[in-house]
Amino acid sequence: MFETTFKYHDESRQGEAYSAPILERKAFEKKFYIESYGCQMNFNDSEIVASILQKEGFGATASYEDADIVLINTCAIREKAEQTVRKRLNAFNSVKKQRPEMLVGVLGCMAERLKAQLLEEEKLVDLVVGPDAYRTLPSLIVGAESGQKSVNVLLSREETYADISPVRLNSNGVTAFVSIMRGCNNMCTFCVVPFTRGRERSRDPHSIERECIELLEKGYKEVTLLGQNVDSYAASLTGGGDRGGQEVVTFADLLERVAKIDPSLRVRFSTSHPKDITEDVLHTMARYENICKYIHLPVQSGSTEVLQRMNRTYTREWYLNKVKRIREIMPECGISTDVITGFCGETEPDHAQTLSLMEQVKYDMAYMFMYSERPGTLAARRYKDDVPEEVKKRRLSEIVALQQDHQAGKMKQDIGKTYTILIEGDSKRSTDDWCGRNDQNKMVVFPKTNDTIKKGDYVRVKINRCTAATLIGEIMK
Span 72-90, pLDDT tens digits? 998 877 777 778 888 899 9
186 Cβ partners below 8 Å, 6+ apart? 194, 228, 229, 273, 311, 313
Q: How far is CA 169 from CA 17, 71, 173, in A?
A: 9, 15, 9
What is the Cα–Cα distance from 35 to 32, expressed in whole angstroms? 10
What is the Cα–Cα distance from 232 to 234, expressed in whole angstroms? 6
pLDDT at 14: 35
160 Cβ partners below 8 Å, 6+ apart? 179, 181, 182, 201, 202, 203, 204
What is the Cα–Cα distance from 441 to 414, expressed in whole angstroms? 13
Structural domains in the chain, sorted by start: 2-152 (3.40.50.12160), 175-411 (3.80.30.20), 418-475 (2.40.50.140)
pLDDT at 241: 44
How many percent of the chain have pLDDT more than 90?
75
What is the Cα–Cα distance from 471 to 156, expressed in whole angstroms? 43
pLDDT at 121: 67
| Cβ atoms of 252 and 280 closer than 8 Å | yes
pLDDT at 10: 39
pLDDT at 171: 64
Taking the CB of residue 194, how many other CB atoms lie within 10 A of it? Answer: 20
pLDDT at 114: 77
